[in-house]
A = this chain, B = another copy of it.
């Protein structure tokens, strides 16, 4: 008997028919002798519907007081899901009980809309499990020390599931979603993309933060911190496939590096086109200039990703960075009106039509020349690299958006990631 956490995404909870299917899948695990905790998302579209209603009514400027109300409203989507799933299980003769985050309690800080889990009380859940009940817990939400409902932000249900698995020391946390695992890259771009049977936690973290949408970044961090074995698998397989087959499907995120016989150098190619590039040209090259430029940007709550400072010529330099494309206009405006006069820079130039392509692999640690192979591959395709950013297990380049598919395909091939290549 193992203690297993299942997490189901919104598309897995799209209709009462899908609820019944999820209930049958959970029942299969229960009948195989396992203890089950289930964290379902809100029904697909429900969170957007609720926030749409709120948006029609909310003040022009969101205060902490309004954020508090938004969280309380958005949290109801999952509260409906857990109740419906409990009913669906009870209808199949499986004892089940649902809890909202505050009932467990899943304690968080008070950062509405992006709260962080601080602790989880396992008393009530353990008692129910001991009585043979399936325990269904709302994802995406918790309760702060003052008893206010908080939400963890979009995709927060992944984090809830992993946190619950960590608190209860579950044997495995299964993230059921609409894809059947983590791929070497997006199969819509590279049809030869291969599903990874395992991926290291650190690689998964890079893949998630670089734009692979399979798992929320924070949930991967959490899994890493508490060493929760995590598996991404499809909720669209028939619910009655053999449990042994299901338990081995998808992609397992591991913490045991030596689990694999041979480590692939590169595990996957991630990409995103959510960023825009901004260059401040002719900046006087003196101490404190980076702060003068980026300080106001950070103060405006704009996240900065890649940052490059060129070598200087004649006491002047160029300074480039990327921001989320949604923040592009606001950042350009800020730089032009505030930063340019303050720094004496010559000019601000922007380009929203860029993309970032990254190779990710734990094997890069011990293999030299991985980055250079990446650069050579792009050169052979005539793709100009605008910015470069590296870490121990990933190398990212910023290129013109129009070359994105070309770059991803060429790199996927150059690093032998196609189906039929040596499996990781």
Contacts and interface: CB of A to CB of B under 8 A. Distances in A.
Interface of A: 16, 19-20, 23, 50, 53-54, 56-60, 63, 65-66, 68-70, 72-73, 76, 79-80, 82-84, 86-88, 90-91, 95-98, 100, 102-103, 147-149
A54 B87 contact: yes
Nearest to A103: B147
B72 A90 contact: no
Contacts of A73: 79-80, 83-84, 87
A84 B54 contact: yes
Contacts of A72: 79, 82-83, 98, 100
Contacts of A148: 103
Nearest to A136: B69
Nearest to A93: B59
A66 B87 contact: yes
Contact of A98 (B69, B82, B83, B86): B69
B90 A16 contact: no
B50 A91 contact: no
Contacts of A76: 76, 79-80
Contacts of A96: 65
Given A53-B16, A76-B79, A87 B100 contact: no
Nearest to A74: B83
Which of A58, A70, A90 has most B Cβ within 10 Å? A90
A386 B63 CA distance: 64
B53 A91 contact: no
Given A50-B80, A73-B84, A65 B19 contact: no
A211 to B, nearest CB: 32
Contacts of A70: 83, 87
A63 B96 CA distance: 12
A53 B90 contact: no
Contacts of A16: 53, 56-57
Nearest to A77: B76
Nearest to A143: B103
Contacts of A69: 83-84, 86-87, 90, 98
A90 B66 contact: yes
A98 B148 CA distance: 10
Contacts of A60: 91
10 contacts: A54-B84, A54-B87, A57-B87, A57-B91, A58-B90, A65-B95, A68-B97, A72-B79, A72-B98, A72-B100
A103 to B, nearest CB: 6
A87 B149 CA distance: 15
Which 8 pairs of residues, A with B, have the shortest CB-CB distance? A73-B83, A76-B76, A16-B56, A59-B91, A69-B83, A57-B88, A57-B87, A69-B86
A346 to B, nearest CB: 44
Given A53-B80, A65-B95, A79-B76, A59 B103 contact: no
